[in-house]
Amino acid sequence: MTSSTPALRVLPVASLLAAAALLALGHGLLGSVLALRALGAGEDAGAIGFFMSAHFVGLLLGAATCQSMIFRVGRIRMFAAFASLISAISVAHLLIEGVVAWAALRLAHGYAYAVIVVVVESWLNGHAVAQTRGRLLAIYGIVSMSALGAGQLLLNVAPPSEFSLLVLSSILISLSLLPVALAGPQREPAILAAGRLSLWRVWRKFPLEAAGALILGMVFSSLLALGPVYARDMDFSRGEIAIFMAAPLLASVVIQFPLGWLSDRMDRRYIILFSSLVAAMAAAMLTTEGSFWQRCALSLLLGGFFIPLYSLCLARANDKIGEQSLLATAGAIMMLYSLGSAPAPLVVGFFMRTHTPSALFASLAVLLLGLATIVIWQLIRHPYSPTRAEPFQVTPTPSSSTSPLLRTDPRSQRNAIANDNKKS
């Protein structure tokens, strides 16, 4: 009997990855444009936090409820329908004004974006076999996060007060339809809904990982939603805001691989502790005076070390469970992340309104120090890590990628095993 590792075949899903990149470009641009347009219209951080929170509520609802629609309609038609909806929502901000109206649009946008990401990720999982899934999702994570960061740089194209950036966002999202529609006939992989674990059970079994997901959801959503507000209050130019917002996202693409490599060779909790402390230090230093480039360097450190923490927490949870529970656990961790994401911009925006813009990074520093404290408590109570370690893989954060519930199709795993047995 001979066995070999299957080759990773990216070409059959290259069109899907291109569609995901275009979608993330338009999505990343839209969030920052809306925050800056609201500031220009005289809204404060509290109001901006309110309608930005609606987006993350939509993400949570979409990821939790879209599976039955995908089963009935199919991936291609679901992608086309909801990409068209997002494109329309993007330009609808030009026609409808007001915080409440924008909150409704952001809620619908978040729901539709969640549906599309579930479609893309479940398709990727159906294409992959068990031995190549980690590498394929790592590529997808890099593509998504890089495009999300590049979307911030598109703020340089035109002033946010003009209609051009909203139209550009709509164009990019509409163009994401082309790679999927023109890719040619493809057999859609089967989709199986994952089993679920109660959040309370996950919290009791994985206290560090559950708390980490909740806290990281708060940090990531607050930074994405309110980072442009902070940058504008610091009198950054439009180009400087673009660089400042892109820096943490692009840094995470580079730094997460060394962190993952280290976490595969030692207790992951030490890497989580180190990353939390570095990110907390960077956030705390962003509350002090400094030049633009000093703040960008701190933004690099902040994003580079806190964004990979989601992958590290999920990898540690996987270390402690059996293969049959991987999917349900990932779904529960994602739900906790989303529960943290939804209210955080609203709460942090209120603090920014009642105190100073630096309250954003003061809040992030407190949250990250809270995570570090939980890690220290766990190290004292349980000094030894699990003996079994699943290899680290890049996992897109649910704010940019929302569907761990559909990330693994058990039938594709069983088919891969059956094929191996036939070959042998």
pTM: 0.79
Q: 368 vs 1, 279, 321, 416, CA distance in Å?
A: 50, 7, 26, 40
Average pLDDT, the chain: 81
Segment 75-101, tens digit of pLDDT: 888 888 999 999 999 999 999 888 899
Q: 398 vs 44, 116, 139, 255, 314, CA distance in Å?
A: 27, 13, 16, 19, 12
Question: What pLDDT is attached to residue 265?
Answer: 80
Segment 30-58, tens digit of pLDDT: 989 999 999 888 888 888 898 889 998 98
Question: What pLDDT is attached to residue 328?
Answer: 64
Q: Where are the domains of the chain?
A: 11-423
Question: What pLDDT is attached to residue 259?
Answer: 84
Pick from 185, 252, 235, 236: which is nearest to 399 by CA? 252
Is the pLDDT score of 137 beyond 50? yes
What is residue 287's DSSP assignment? T
Is the pLDDT score of 338 beyond 90? no
Token pair recorded at residue 260: 């993952």
Segment 257-312, tens digit of pLDDT: 788 788 878 888 899 999 999 999 999 999 998 899 999 999 999 999 998 888 78
Question: Residue 64: which residues within 8 A CB-CB, separation 6 or more?
Answer: 335
Pick from 239, 251, 250, 87: which is nearest to 155 by CA? 239
The angle subtended at Cα 269 by Cα 297 and Cα 144, nearest 5°, is 50
Segment 384-394, tens digit of pLDDT: 765 545 565 56
- Looking at CATH, the fold of the domain delimited by 11-423 is given as Growth Hormone; Chain: A; (1.20.1250)
Is the pLDDT score of 367 beyond 90? yes
Segment 203-236, tens digit of pLDDT: 888 888 889 989 998 999 999 989 999 999 999 9
CB 140 within 8 A of CB 21: no
Question: Residue 342: which residues within 8 A CB-CB, separation 6 or more?
Answer: 53, 56, 57, 59, 60, 221
